Chain A
Amino acid sequence: MNTHHPSHTSDPLPDERRLVRKAKSGDSDAFARIYDAYVERVYRYIYFRVTDDAAAEDLTSQVFLKAWESLDRYQIGSSPYIAWLYTIARNLVIDHYRTNKETVNLEDAVHLTADGPSPDDEVQGRFELQAMRDALQFLTDEQQQVLILRFIAGLPTENVAEIMEKREGAIRALQMRALQTLSKYMQEKEVA
């Protein structure tokens, strides 16, 4: 198990508050710096929530457009700004499924996504990520969100509960059931 917990997954920008304050007053350069810092995290969250790469990119882009427009509603210090971005992303994914009536076709979903020619190890890495993405589709919507926010985004239970508008106890229970379901699915797949 990867026992190292990369700090970049959940730690806020060192000068996040100052940048958000400047962005709120209309400074587009400050908001562009926020984008640079958080775009990968938002993309990761959305990537594992949808099965279409193009949709993942489009939704990621939309998150920041919406975040720019809704800066007034974010209260500095109430929660990390990345939690606010995840909330926007979560709502956009829900709208995406509602609008597109997207259903998961696992046979179609299992494919490699790579930008141009890649070395073998990168292909292998992509394959594993795609396998994880497919496996997550077997979970309920809430179970997916908990696992992605806890283990991919690296957020503490408290922030996950805030984003999902649930109690921490409910998040822990969801987390346990999600891990049990996913573990069983992976064991069955490996045996097969």
Chain B
Amino acid sequence: MSDFEQVLEKCLNELASGASGLDECLARHPEHAAQLQPLLLTAARVEMGRELRPSAAFKARARAKLTLHMQAHPRKRAVSGSTPWWRLASALVVLVLAFLVTGTVYAQGVLPGDLFYDWKLVSERLWRRVSPNPVNTDLAIANRRIGEINIVSNDPVRRARALKGYQEVVTRLESEFDAKILESILPPVDSFDFPEQVPPTPTPTLDDTTATPYPEGPEIIPTITPGILSTKLPGIILTNAPGIFSTKLPKLIPTIEIPPPIR
């Protein structure tokens, strides 16, 4: 911007705001006064245009036309309570939910070492937490780990990770089984009423021993029959069994084939 442009702009602004008059402005810039004066006078003449007013008839006519137009083209009223902020927040929530759902669905197919594998494990933990039957859920999770182990068997790192996950599930299942079984067996066992007089166990004689088809004695296989099995049962003595039975029970994992441990 040239020096003259600057002086002109300054004088126009001062005149517009009433800060100074024409003569004052010219006196302050004598070097430009000759050029400034006609331009400032012209600007003042243009300002006379502010006195123009449209006729009242026109204003009324145009207003009536506008009113008709607004009635014919009503604007959609904003729903109360639905401010742009809320709409934005709702859209954001929908987006986040869609992302979570899509990510979770995608994560179910990934393998150990993949980007979304941790997401898969987290989703399984949530699944187990909300499941009405955590044992069944753990069984399904264990089967998933086995499937993963089979697929990534050529990659030791990934296989190790899948195996670790599998072992975690098995450990959890063992504790669940113990707790569940005890919970279902103990009450009937404790309430079983055995007879007071238990007939003495006959001491086998040598003849009896030789006559038996099992020279090393019969094999005692404990079976779980709620209501009958008890430490009080004659002929069956479970040694080193605190309480009734615990870790001595055979492992009950009916649907899992446990792969051989890694050496």
Contacts and interface: CB of A to CB of B under 8 A. Distances in A.
Nearest to A180: B39
B257 interface: no
Nearest to B14: A3
Contact of B49 (A32, A60, A61, A129): A129
A127 to B, nearest CB: 11
B17 A151 contact: no
A25 B42 CA distance: 44
B21 A3 contact: yes
Contacts of B16: 5, 154
Interface in B61-75: 61-63, 65-67, 69-71, 73-75
Contacts of B66: 31-32, 35, 61, 64-65, 68
Interface string B78-97: 10000000000000000000
Contacts of B70: 28, 31-32, 68
B41 A36 contact: no
Interface in A117-145: 125, 128-129, 132, 136
Contacts of A182: 42, 46
Contact of A128 (B38, B48, B61, B74): B48
Given A26-B78, A35-B66, A125-B51, A132 B71 contact: no
A26 B59 CA distance: 22
A172 B46 contact: no
A114 B77 CA distance: 42
B69 A68 contact: yes
Interface in A134-165: 136, 147-148, 150-152, 154, 157
15 contacts: A1-B21, A1-B43, A3-B15, A3-B21, A4-B18, A26-B75, A28-B67, A36-B63, A148-B46, A148-B49, A154-B16, A172-B5, A175-B12, A176-B5, A186-B42
Q: Which 3 residue pairs are nearest across A and B when measured between Cβ atoms? A: A1-B44, A152-B49, A26-B77
A14 interface: no
- Chain B: interface size category: 35 or more
B211 interface: no
Given A2-B48, A28-B67, A68-B73, A43 B42 contact: no
A86 interface: no
- Chain A: interface size category: 35 or more
B50 interface: yes
Q: Which of B38, B39, B46, B71 has the most CB of A within 10 A?
A: B46
Interface string B1-35: 10011001100100111101110000000000000
Given A4-B18, A26-B77, A132 B45 contact: yes
Contacts of A3: 15, 18, 20-22
Contacts of B63: 32, 35-36, 39
A96 B63 CA distance: 21
B21 to A, nearest CB: 5
A1 B62 contact: no
Nearest to A133: B49
A38 B65 CA distance: 16
A110 interface: no
A2 B43 CA distance: 10
